[in-house]
Structures are given as structure tokens and as C-alpha cells.
Amino acid sequence: MTPHLHIGGVEASFGSFKVGPVRIETERGEYLALLGPTGCGKTSLLKCIAGLKIITAGSIRLAGQEISGLPPERRGVGLVAQTGDLFPHRNVRENLDFGLHYTRLNRTTRQARLEKHLVMFRIAPLAHRYPAGLSGGETKRVALARAMVLEPSLLLLDEPFGMLDHNGRLEMAELLRMILRELGTTVIHVTHDRHEAWSLARRCAIMNQGRIVQCGQVADVFRRPADVFTAQFLGCENVFEASFTEQTARCGEARFALGYKPPFRSGFVAIRPERIAVAAHGQPHLISGRLIELQDAGDNLKACFDCGALKLTARLPLELAPRLTLNACFNLTWLADAVHAIKPQGDEGANS
Amino acid sequence: MPRSSARTVIPLFILAAHAALHAMLGIGGWLRPFELLSLLLLGANLVIALCLWKGSWDLPSGTCTMLLIAGHGLIGQRLAPDSLTSGAMLTVNILIVYVGVKIYEHLSRLHFAAFAGSYLILFYIFLTRMQNAEALFLLFLMGLAATARDFKLLTYFWAIVLSFTACQPYAWETTFSSFLILTALFSIRDSNWNPASVIFLVGGMALLLFVLLPVIVLMAGEDPRNVVAMLKSESVRDALRLTAVTATISTVILAAFCVPLAYALSRLDFKGKSLLLALADLPIIVPQSAAGLAILKVFGKQQYLGGIIFDAFGIRFDGSVFGICLAQIFVAMPFILKGSLAAFESVPVALEGAARTLGASSFSAFKRVALPLAMKGVVAAAILAWARAAGEFGAVLFVAPYPETAPIAVYNLFNSVGLVQTAPLVTTILLFSLAMFLALQILVKLAPGLTRREGSGA
């Protein structure tokens, strides 16, 4: 089956900043999270797909049709910008009607479609308000509705949760799930927040410095980051240089089991901090270290251990707090699948 | 003394004291029993007694009023010109005492000091500068009583008083202008302000007033009948009509070309753009006479290009309406171009991007997003260009001294009859220009779709 959206070898330049080559494929109705730090080219890539920036190389195919040569108005791609970009001289209803103007639908169909979307996105009470009088969440909902009223087969969301408070985020997430479930729209959701991505997407692509560094199922990317950047970006605080012999990783004095044989001799190991546990006294353990820093992070305890050559950070359950005293030594342990081997930097071969 | 009994005793005491005073004055031969003043005093005393009894007035104000009445009774008997004036003064003074007591009770000491000080100064002004103007003085006192509760109102009140006492015979003009200035100052005080900007404002306004003074003096000093006579004159009306029509044509042509150009310049970035922008300012830099000559050199009927156009279309520029428009277009162009450019630059490009993804072509995005959002600035620029075109003298004089536009008419009249006789025409033209300018501005304010735009999104 051919993918619904196929982005192949797309390159674009924005002054001195280069994006690409980028390759992404998504199935119809798929929700893809595009994750990356600020300034990595996520928004630029969206603009390339929407047609607001000209690409210098590569192809973009939507439902089998090459769209990279088309002007933005003929691509049928919905884009919701970070700030919403509502037209300040039109009220909410007129904002929604803006795109319908070009659809050549008859008047009654247009009206019906508009009313339906006003209700669906819970903005009917705002219909006659102007954008300057809307809250952040309302602005985002209207922008989303304005794009969705045209029923695009591909929706591009640029930081849809940006500038929203907790309730706004919940509401927005619910609307996005509805789009996914009921309308079957293919969505690319750009964000820098991995929790946001996890809550909605099954697949994600990690972007860094204009390139896609890893693309795959969320769980896969999370457990098996392809490079040091991805590991750290996804919250893995323990990344160490290591050499590998058979199924064992070796960092300085310490050795841990990997559970599989990596295809390279040296590289890095990443140990998920939330998988590290404190072993009871006398129990088998992998390493022991002195607790040098303890911080209550709300839903977990961030504990830093000095284990000789390695500085390990663990995310421990809150119940352990009474047992943890600074400068005391603790035995640490984890299961083999908490450790992941990462290819050395600059080696492009091992990405699946 | 308990409060309730005081309420009963004091009014009775007042009335008794009144009766006693009257009896004494009567016995002494100072007062006849049913004189008007006597009746007024009795009425006032009754009112006060009633107020005290009902509890809506209190002891200090009651006492003050009693003293006031006694004093006035004596003054009225000896000094006041007639008993009616005396009675009015008494009534107003009771009001002043009442207001004074209320201010003392409810507002700050500063309010009270301002009130008392204002009263004393007013009284001083009355004694020194307002002989035989008791009615005006009483009016001022009532004004003071009405405005003393608020410093802002009090300031406006003093602006009126000073205008009408110190600035005669320009009292109304002074009142009007001082109100304008005070309103500006008060709104500055209520907003965010800093000393530097206020000082700069005052300094700048001084120069502005100095520059505008001739125009203001000319307009204020002219007899309106002369202006009406001018407006009835056929030649003046022709000149004004020609000016309005040519300026409008010029502005329409300018808008048709320069507004799209301004949009292009705001959206495109190309090599030589800054040079183009500098060239667009050329009409401001070039002396108008030189510009006129240059136009004549190229578009004159005997010249090459002008000759071709004349042969092809039968249109001549020198000494024709087309020439006037050409000269006006030349001098007004930078105003509409730069104004529109600024307006378009203030419209975020992202909004047009959003329009494009919603199905708008680039033309449609211009028409439905960029232009409506920039419209306010574009129209302001067009009005400025219109005014510039209508007022153009130098270039028009060289290209087309006839038919006469208004500026040329002034020049010709001045040359033939001199300064004094030209003044009514100048005033007429000034008023006409001002009226057109204001009318256009108001039209823009009232036009739907232009005012609806609010600031940036949330």
C-alpha cells in the first residue's frame, strides 16, 4: 500500500539554515508527531509541505499526487500555525467562512458545514466575536476549525498546545482525538514536548538540525533512540561512552549486560533513569554509588549517584524518600532491557 | 446634650434668635418689618431650621449659616445696591458654606484648602476687577460650589474664570483652547507618562503653535461675510472646484498604481529595493519649481514625448487639466507610497500564508486579507496625498498656470492687488482645505469595515 503522504529527499534553505534532506511517510489517518528542539526546522518543514516555502529538491506526494509544484491554495493541506493566525478583521464565523468561499459549494451546504464545525469545535458561542477578544485556547480552537472546515486530507499542526494552560491542553487534545477518530484526517503534529507527542501519536519522527534523525513507533523510538541527541532529547539522562564485547557494555570499570549484541564495537550506552532501582542490602546489584543530589520532581525523586567514573541519574519512586540520605552509598540495579546501545556519532549505518 | 434634643432645641433657638434680631433691628430703626430682605432672611432661617430638625444638616454648618445670615443682614442693609442682589448673594453664600462643610467632612484637607483658597481669590478678583458684575460673580460662586469636589473639574472651572476675567475680549477663544490643552494634559496624567516625554511634548507644541499661528490668526481675524462673498464669486468657485477635481483625479490614479506597488515592496526583497525607495522620495527632495520645469521639458507639447502623446491622443499637458494632474501626481506620490508601504508592512505575512492554505490565490489573499488590514493606513496616506496635491503650487505654476487652481489664484491675486485684498481669498481657501480634509477624515472614521479592525490577536 502506498503511503498517503510521502516526503522524499525534501530540501529547502532559509538563508543560511538548511532543512533536509527529509524523508517521511505516513499512512492515511495516521497521527505523526514531529518532535525536535526549538529551531530544528520543524516549522520550516511544515511550511514546505503546505507550500508556503519553495523546496529546492525532493518530492512531496499526497494521495499519490505530486504536490510540491502546486501553489499552496491547490494542495488541499490544512495548516494551523502556532499563533493561530486568525484574520483580525473578520469575526470567528467569517474566519471559518474564509476558505469555504473558494470551495464552490452551494450556499446551503456551506452554511450547514459552517454550523456543523462551529458546534463540533465548541466555538458556536464565539461566532460573532473578533479574534482580539478571544483567549489563547479559543484562538487555537477557531484556527483548528478554520482549517478543518475545508476537510483537508492532511492537517499540519504547529505546536497546537503552545501557549495553552492545562485545561486548554486537555480540551485541545480531546478535539485532536476526535479529528483522528471521526474524520480520519492524516495529522502531522509538531512539538518540542515529548509528553504531548506520546499522548496523541502512535508514531513519531525526531528532528534535529534540519534532519529527521529517527522515525518509528513511539515506544521503539523511546526505548531504542538512534543517537545520543535523541536519547537525551527524550529525557534519558544517562548516556555514556562505552565499548561492546558480545552482549556486554563496558564503561570504564563498570560492565552491564545488554541482552543483545550490538553491530558495532564502540559507541554509547543509554540507561533509562526511571528503570534504575535501589537494591535492598545484600541483594545482587550492578553498581553502587554515593547519593550526591536529591530533588523532588513532583511525581518522582530525581537522585544523582556518584559511581566512580559514571554519574548516574535515577528517577525513583516517592516512597523511597525516607531511605535516601545524602552522601550515603546505595546499591543500584536495573534490568538488561533498560540499557540500549547507541552507534558512535557520525556513523549513519545502524538506523533502522 | 443628646443629639435628639439638640435637633429640636437648635432650630427653635435659631428661629428665636432670628425673631430677636429682627426685633432689635426694628427697634433700632435699621429694618422695616416686611422689607424683601427681611422676608428672605426669614425664609433662609426657616429652611435651615427645618434642615437641622430633620437631621440632614448639622451643627457646624448651622452655626456658620447663622453667622453668615447675620453678617449679610447687616451688609445688605448698609452696602448692597438692592435687596434682590443681597438676597441672591445670601442664598449663594449659604450654598458655599454648605459645600465647604461637606468638603471638610468628606474629602481631604487639600480639597478644602483648594475650595477655600478659590473662594478667597474669586472674592479678591471680584473686588479688584469685576466692579458691578455681581451676577457674574454669583455665577462663578455657583460654579465653584459645583466643581470643588474634584481637582480636575476645579481646574476647568478656573480656566473659565481666568478666561472671562483676564482675557477679555477673547474669553471664548481662551476658554476653548485652554479646555483643549487641559483635556490633553489630564489624559496624559491618567496614562503612562514620563518627565522626558512631557517636556518634549511641551517644547514641540510651542514650535507647532508658533508655526501655525499665522494660519490661525488669519482665519480668526477674517470677517465671515467676506468669506461668504468670496464663495459666491464665480472665479473663486471655479478655482476651488478645479482644485478639488484635479486633486481627486490625481489621488485616484496614485492609489491605483502606488498601493499595489507599496504592497509589492512590502512583500518582496530584491537587490536595488533600497535604491528604488530612495528614488521614490525624489519629489520631496527636488524643488517644486525644478520639478515643474522638468515635467515641461519632457511632456511639453513642443517636446519629444509630449509631442508624441499630443499627436496620438490629442492630449496636451502644458496649460491643461492633465498637466495639473501630472504635476500633482509627481509631488504627492511619495506620501501615498510611503504611507501605504508602512501600512502593508504592519500586516503580518503569516496571515496571507494562512489565507493561501485556506484556498486563496495570491491576488485573493491581497484583496481579502492584506488590503483590508492595511486599509486604515492606506486611506490615511491617500488623504495626505490628496491634501498635498490640492495644495501644490510650484510645479503646477510651471506646467499649467491656467486654468487656475486655488494656490495659483492666490498668487495671481496677490501679484495684482497686494496683501490686504488677498486675505479673504486665502481664508476662504484655508477654510475650504480644512473642511475637505476634516470631511475626508470623518468619512474614513464612519466608513464601515475600516474601524472594525482591532489590535493583534490574543
Asked if residues A168 and A139 have their Cβ atoms less than 8 Å apart, the reply is no
User: Complex ipTM, two decimals?
Assistant: 0.85
Between CA B38 and CA A289 the distance in angstroms is 107
CB contact, 8 Å: A145 with chain B?
no
Please list every residue in chain B whose beta carbon sits closer than 8 Å to the beta carbon of residue A147: 357-358
Between CA A304 and CA A302 the distance in angstroms is 7
Among A47, A99, A133, whose Cβ lies nearest the Cβ of B358?
A99
CATH 2.40.50.100, chain A: domain bounds: 235-342
Residue A159, phi then psi, degrees to nearest 5: 45, 60
Residues in chain A: 352
Mean pLDDT of B72-82: 57
Lowest mean pLDDT among A179-193, B57-71, B350-364, B414-428: B57-71
Cell numbers at A339, concatenated: 540499557
The residue of chain B with its CA nearest to that of A92 is B457
Cell numbers at B387, concatenated: 491634501
Rounded to the nearest angstrom, the minimum Cα separation between B271 and chain A is 15
CB contact under 8 A, B452 and A130: yes
For each of the domains in chain B, give its residue range(s) and CATH number, in order of start: 3-178 (no CATH), 179-188+195-221 (no CATH), 227-457 (1.10.3720.10)
CB contact under 8 A, A98 and B454: no
CB contact under 8 A, A150 and B457: no
* Record: fold of A5-223: Rossmann fold (3.40.50)
* Mutation for testing the A interface, residue in B269, B358, B454 having most A CBs under 10 Å: B358
**CA-closest candidate to residue B452, choices B379, B372, B398:** B372
Q: Which long-range contacts (CB under 8 A, 24 or more apart) does B299-307 make?
A: B299/B323, B299/B326, B299/B399
Give percent above pLDDT 90 in chain B. Answer: 34
pLDDT value at A213 more than 80: yes
> Looking at residue B336, what is its pLDDT?
96
pLDDT value at B96 more than 90: no
Measured CA to CA in angstroms, residue B378 lies from A255, A350, B439 at distances of 73, 59, 17
pLDDT value at B77 more than 60: no
Measured CA to CA in angstroms, residue B332 lies from B336, B391, B392 at distances of 7, 10, 9
Among B350, B454, B458, whose Cβ lies nearest the Cβ of A81?
B350
Among A51, A71, A139, whose Cβ lies nearest the Cβ of B457?
A139
Mean pLDDT of A95-101: 94
CB contact under 8 A, A150 and B356: no
Rounded to the nearest angstrom, the minimum Cα separation between B451 and chain A is 9
Please list every residue in chain A whose beta carbon sits closer than 8 Å to the beta carbon of residue B363: none
Q: Is A266 in a helix, a strand, or coil?
A: strand
Rounded to the nearest angstrom, the minimum Cα separation between B260 and chain A is 20
Measured CA to CA in angstroms, residue B439 lies from A246, B44, B212, B215 at distances of 89, 55, 20, 19
CB contact, 8 Å: A14 with chain B?
no
pLDDT tens, B114-132?
A: 999 999 998 888 888 777 7
Mean pLDDT of B241-254: 95
Please list every residue in chain B whose beta carbon sits closer than 8 Å to the beta carbon of residue A98: 355, 358, 360, 368
Residue B190 CA, chain-centre distance (Å), reads 19
* Mutation for testing the B interface, residue in A89, A144, A150 having most B CBs under 10 Å: A89
**CA-closest candidate to residue A86, choices A15, A14, A136, A19:** A136
> Looking at residue B39, what is its pLDDT?
63
CB contact under 8 A, B361 and A134: no
**CA-closest candidate to residue A45, choices A226, A222, A215:** A215
Cell numbers at B318, concatenated: 502644458
Please list every residue in chain A whose beta carbon sits closer than 8 Å to the beta carbon of residue B358: 73, 98-99, 102, 146-147, 150
Measured CA to CA in angstroms, residue B41 lies from A96, B93, B316 at distances of 76, 13, 88
pLDDT tens, A242-297?
A: 888 888 888 877 888 887 888 888 888 888 888 888 888 777 778 888 898 888 88
pLDDT value at A332 more than 50: yes
Please list every residue in chain B whose beta carbon sits closer than 8 Å to the beta carbon of residue A86: 354, 457
> Taking the CB of residue A164, how many other CB atoms lie within 10 A of it?
19
CB contact under 8 A, A98 and B362: no
- Residue B110 CB-half CA count within 13 A: 3
Mean pLDDT of A70-89: 93
Please report which confidence band the pLDDT of residue B225 belongs to, taking 50, 70 and 90 as the band edges: confident
CB contact, 8 Å: A50 with chain B?
yes
The residue of chain A with its CA nearest to that of B349 is A85
> Looking at residue B454, what is its pLDDT?
44
pLDDT value at B136 more than 90: no
Give percent above pLDDT 90 in chain A. Answer: 36
Asked if residues B158 and B118 have their Cβ atoms less than 8 Å apart, the reply is yes
Please list every residue in chain A whose beta carbon sits closer than 8 Å to the beta carbon of residue B360: 73, 98-99, 102
**CA-closest candidate to residue B127, choices B115, B113, B117, B137:** B137
* Single pTM value for the model: 0.74
pLDDT value at B455 more than 50: no
The β-bridge partners of A189 are A33, A157
**Between 3.40.50.2300, 2.30.30.100, 2.40.50.100, 3.90.1640.30, what CATH number should domain A235-342 receive?**
2.40.50.100
Mean pLDDT of B179-204: 87
Please report which confidence band the pLDDT of residue B451 belongs to, taking 50, 70 and 90 as the band edges: very low
Asked if residues A305 and A318 have their Cβ atoms less than 8 Å apart, the reply is no
Rounded to the nearest angstrom, the minimum Cα separation between A206 and chain B is 25
Asked if residues A149 and A100 have their Cβ atoms less than 8 Å apart, the reply is yes
Between CA B125 and CA B119 the distance in angstroms is 10
**C-alpha angle A155-A158-A163 in degrees, rounded to nearest 5:** 130
> Looking at residue B66, what is its pLDDT?
66
The β-bridge partners of A211 are A208
Asked if residues B203 and B404 have their Cβ atoms less than 8 Å apart, the reply is no
Chain A contacts in chain B segment 344-403 (CB below 8 A):
348, 350-351, 353-362, 364, 368-369, 372-373
* Mutation for testing the B interface, residue in A44, A47, A54, A73 having most B CBs under 10 Å: A73
Chain A contacts in chain B segment 300-339 (CB below 8 A):
none
CB contact under 8 A, B357 and A78: yes
Mean pLDDT of A45-74: 92
**CA-closest candidate to residue A111, choices A129, A127, A88, A125:** A127
Please list every residue in chain A whose beta carbon sits closer than 8 Å to the beta carbon of residue B349: none
Please report which confidence band the pLDDT of residue B53 belongs to, taking 50, 70 and 90 as the band edges: low
> Looking at residue B60, what is its pLDDT?
62
Query: DSSP H helical segments within B79-150, as ranges?
Result: 83-106, 109-129, 134-147
Please list every residue in chain A whose beta carbon sits closer than 8 Å to the beta carbon of residue B356: 51-52, 71-73
Asked if residues A43 and A14 have their Cβ atoms less than 8 Å apart, the reply is no
Residue A256 CA, chain-centre distance (Å), reads 30
- Residue B337 CB-half CA count within 13 A: 21
Between CA B50 and CA B7 the distance in angstroms is 10
Dihedral of CA A269/A274/A278/A283: which sign? negative
DSSP state of A72: G
Torsion of CA B376, B379, B383, B388, to 10 degrees: 110
pLDDT value at A232 more than 70: yes
Mean pLDDT of B226-254: 91
Asked if residues A344 and A258 have their Cβ atoms less than 8 Å apart, the reply is no
CATH 3.40.50.300, chain A: domain bounds: 5-223
Helix axes A136-148, A166-178, angle to 10 degrees: 10
Asked if residues A2 and A27 have their Cβ atoms less than 8 Å apart, the reply is no
CB contact under 8 A, A133 and B372: no
Residues contacting B308, CB < 8 A, separation 6+: none
Between CA A199 and CA A181 the distance in angstroms is 14
Please list every residue in chain A whose beta carbon sits closer than 8 Å to the beta carbon of residue B355: 87, 98
**CA-closest candidate to residue A49, choices A22, A24, A77, A86:** A77
Please list every residue in chain A whose beta carbon sits closer than 8 Å to the beta carbon of residue B353: 47, 50, 52, 72, 79, 81, 85
Rounded to the nearest angstrom, the minimum Cα separation between B372 and chain A is 7
Please list every residue in chain B whose beta carbon sits closer than 8 Å to the beta carbon of residue A139: 457-458
> Looking at residue B313, what is its pLDDT?
87
Burial class of B146 by CB neighbour count within 10 A (0 to 12, 13 to 18, 19+): middle
pLDDT tens, B211-224?
A: 988 888 787 777 78
Please list every residue in chain B whose beta carbon sits closer than 8 Å to the beta carbon of residue A88: 351, 373, 453-457
